[in-house]
Amino acid sequence: MIREEFTAPGKITRGLSREQVISRVYRARHNHFGGSIYGQVEVPPLSLARDGSNFFQFNFTFPGETGPDRLIGWGHPALVRLLTYDNVSLFLDATFRCVSASFLPVHRGHGL
């Protein structure tokens, strides 16, 4: 078996370096998503909240002044559900430290 070739007593097997592993992971992600950062946020694990619920809500492309623009919406389902209630005041904070430079944060808060 292949496993025995690598785990046989007295046999040392050299693996990939940390940089090689990271490079292969990035290459595999790039190939899987077609090089699109937008595709990466639409599927797990980046689309999920900590409790496993779907944090990704929508992805909308529309014509902009210099080319196509995209609006991506995230929100925890329990908090999005609050938008359906009557007489609710909401205060939103959409400041993300981890946003890529290619994204422009847009946020709006209002009382319902």
Note the pLDDT of residue 50: 81
Note the pLDDT of residue 112: 44
Q: What is the DSSP string of 35-64?
A: T-HHHHHHSTTTTB-TTSSB-EEEEEEEE-
Note the pLDDT of residue 71: 78
Identify the residue whose tokens are 């097997």: 13
Note the pLDDT of residue 68: 83
Q: How far apart are CA 63 and CA 109, in angstroms?
A: 25
With 0-12 / 13-18 / 19 or more C-beta atoms within 10 angstroms meaning exposed / middle / buried, residue 95 is exposed
Note the pLDDT of residue 39: 72
Q: How far apart are CA 6 and CA 24, in angstroms?
A: 21
The residues of the chain scoring below 50 in pLDDT are 110-112
